Structure 1
Amino acid sequence: MIYHLTDRHVLGSGGRMRPKRLNVKITIPFLGEIGGEWEPDDAEQRAAWELYVELVTRVSVVPLREDEGSAREALASMYVLFATVRDILKRYGPDVAPPGARNEVSFGILAVTVLNRAVRPVLSKWHPRLTAWESSVPAGRSAVEHEKAWQEIDALRADLDSLRLVLMELAQVLGNVAGAADLIGSLEVVPAQAPRTSVSSQAPAPRGPAIP
């Protein structure tokens, strides 16, 4: 993903700063790049924030570690994005998908293109295969255990990880347009330290054998 400001920021809705113009490129594996010039208006800024929240709070942009979560959960999270984008487009209308020059993009173009060119192929490929495998779960085995035993699970997880990177790029662009903080990057969590005990209150250490 590549984007940079080609002009200064302007004041958007709610007093938040948004970029006046962006040069956006999002890479879709095996297909190439989509992008162009984007000058978001207030409606696109609000729509960008809504989709940004959906992306950063779902499994969509969270790494699916081998020892946690499930591929089925990740696929279901991807499916929900279609309903989310559809709802945003209906509520905001043509304002978030205005006609423009050939090299210009909009919220509508980016969101719909990523869904149809990146998300849909993965779902179309893996949903029926995973469903067929899930139907063969033997008695006494949990759904998660059965999924891990699937011979194609590694290939599915690899495709999900590639798709996650695409959605993360989209989320980063949307967050920039919305004027939001980076909610994707993980913050370092410092473990809480036990309160120190004063030297005077410490019990004397028991004497042990002398160390030679």
Structure 2
Amino acid sequence: MCRRSIRRWRSSGGLIARIVAATAVGSLAGLGVFSLTQVTSRILFVVTGGVVGAVTVLAVQWYRRLAQLTEVKVSIPQLSELTFAVNNDSRQVAWRMFVETVTRVSTQPLVGDEGVVREALTSMYGLFGTARETLKAARPSAPVPGGQTVEYLAITMLNRELRPFLSQWHPRLREFERAHPDSPESAWPDNAACRAELQRVQHAIHDYAIGSARLAGVREPEPLVRYVPAPRPSDGRTAGGTMPAAGSGPGAR
């Protein structure tokens, strides 16, 4: 609730700033028009035409710079190599996704019995919600033949990695916590299996984070992301870990 309030406050503050800026620009424009009306009609037409021409050129250049699409190729093991078409808006979305992904507990490896699975699951729920809100707030990217969008990468990460994991393991851990409120997490029978699957998901999210960084224009993102090794083959995914239960998981909220 607090984060939503802060986001709303920031959004309101940005709107107020834009209104104030627009009012100031409008006032200056009105003053300029008034000043021009004090000169002869011939000079008025010349000056007005020159101003309109200059403003038009600047507006066109600004629009082209904002809307210009750049082709970026990203290689993600789960998706192979994909070609993306990004502009300034989509780079901002990719940057937000990258920051949200690499600064959470959900992407930090839990070695052996260290760390708390509950914290990682809660962090992943937060990542899912924040990523969804980021995508909802952004304008959809224009589709380009032969190219993918930033939304595709983010939504694929949510639906292919986060949603199935949370749908399977969050209810199990919650059931154990309710049935054994005083027991340590290490007493949970599924603790080892959950940690192995968590490591697999963290490894996958690492690859998505690197992809988002490249779309955002980060030249060398690897040093910024803590690498999570892939689980050993013996730790493989448990049955039922690939599809979410009906009516459960973060997407059902």
Q: Does 1:21 align with 2:77?
A: no
Cross-structure match for 1:204: none
Between Structure 1 and Structure 2, how many residues are aligned? 156
In the aligned structure 1, how far is the partner of 2:123 from the partner of 2:178?
20
Quote how far apart the aligned CAs of 1:185 are.
4.5
Structure 1 residues 100, 35: CA separation in 2 closer, same or farther (over 3 Å shift)?
farther
Cross-structure match for 2:225: 184
Cross-structure match for 2:199: 161
SS in 1 for 2:157: helix
* Structure 1 residue ranges, 4+ long, deviating more than 6 angstroms after superposition: none
SS in 1 for 2:179: coil
Structure 1 residues 34, 110: CA separation in 2 closer, same or farther (over 3 Å shift)?
farther
Among 77, 80, 87, the alignment partner of 2:123 is 77
Quote how far apart the aligned CAs of 1:34 are.
5.9
Q: Which has the higher contact order (CA 8 A, sep 6+)?
A: 1
In the aligned structure 1, how far is the partner of 2:212 from the partner of 2:150?
8
Give 5+ residue unaligned stretches, structure 1: 1-18, 187-212
Structure 1 residues 105, 34: CA separation in 2 closer, same or farther (over 3 Å shift)?
farther
In the aligned structure 1, how far is the partner of 2:81 from the partner of 2:180?
43
SS in 1 for 2:147: coil
In the aligned structure 1, how far is the partner of 2:71 from the partner of 2:209?
17
In the aligned structure 1, how far is the partner of 2:81 from the partner of 2:137?
24
* Richer in strand (by share): 1
Cross-structure match for 1:108: 151
* Richer in helix (by share): 2
Contact kept, 8 Å, 2:94 with 2:212, in 1: the verdict is: yes
Structure 1 residues 179, 36: CA separation in 2 closer, same or farther (over 3 Å shift)?
closer
Cross-structure match for 2:94: 48
Give CA deviations for 1:55-104 in whole Å, capped at 9, x if unaligned: 11102221112342211111111111222122211222213xx3233x42
Q: Does 1:65 align with 2:111?
A: yes
Structure 1 residues 128, 46: CA separation in 2 closer, same or farther (over 3 Å shift)?
same
1:125 partner letter? Q
Contact kept, 8 Å, 2:74 with 2:81, in 1: the verdict is: yes
Give CA deviations for 1:98-139 in whole Å, capped at 9, x if unaligned: 3233x4211101100110111101111111111111112254
Give CA deviations for 1:24-83 in whole Å, capped at 9, x if unaligned: 34334xxxx365211211111111111111111102221112342211111111111222
Structure 1 residues 34, 77: CA separation in 2 closer, same or farther (over 3 Å shift)?
farther
1:99 partner letter? P
In the aligned structure 1, how far is the partner of 2:181 from the partner of 2:128?
33
Instruction: List aligned pairs for 1:128-143, cutoff 5 A.
Output: 128-137=171-180, 139=182, 141=183
Cross-structure match for 2:166: 123
SS in 2 for 1:22: strand
1:165 partner letter? H
2:84 partner letter? W
- Indicate the percent of aligned positions where both proteins have the same amino acid: 38
In the aligned structure 2, how far is the partner of 1:83 from the partner of 1:34?
26
Q: Give the TM-score, by structure 2 length.
A: 0.56
Larger radius of gyration: 2
